[in-house]
Amino acid sequence: MGKDIVEEIKLVDYALIDGTFYNGLELDRDMSEIPHPSVEETLELFLNQPVVERNKIYFIHINHTNPILTNKNGVKDLIESYGFNVAKRG
């Protein structure tokens, strides 16, 4: 059986989480074919966790179609207001 990601985050100082796709609307295929969750799914999973746990999460590997990259519609700002982080280059 796999590990519980929510419990694993509690054990670390930082968590680099794949943020390739914000949600399935970016793709012209079924999200079930993608071997990792979308940013939206990750947000839903962790929103009930204390902010101290959410602060550990850094979304990485942002795809060029992901609205986080350009902050389209304030998506990046919203994510950060929930206590999550978007990794920066450099």
State pLDDT tens for residues 23-46.
877 777 777 777 778 999 999 999
Instruction: Tell me how far apart the alpha carbons of residues 61 and 20 are, in angstroms, rounded to a whole number.
Output: 5
- What type of residue is 49? Q
Going 37 to 38 to 44 to 49, the CA torsion angle's sign is: positive
pLDDT at site 82: 98
Range of the domain at 21: 5-86
- SS3 string of 13-49? CCEEEECCCCCHHHCCCCHHHCCCCCHHHHHHHHCCC
State how many domains the chain has: 1
What pTM value is reported for the model? Answer: 0.90
Q: Which residues of the chain fall below pLDDT 50? A: none
* Residue 1 confidence (pLDDT): 66
| Per-residue pLDDT, 53 | 98
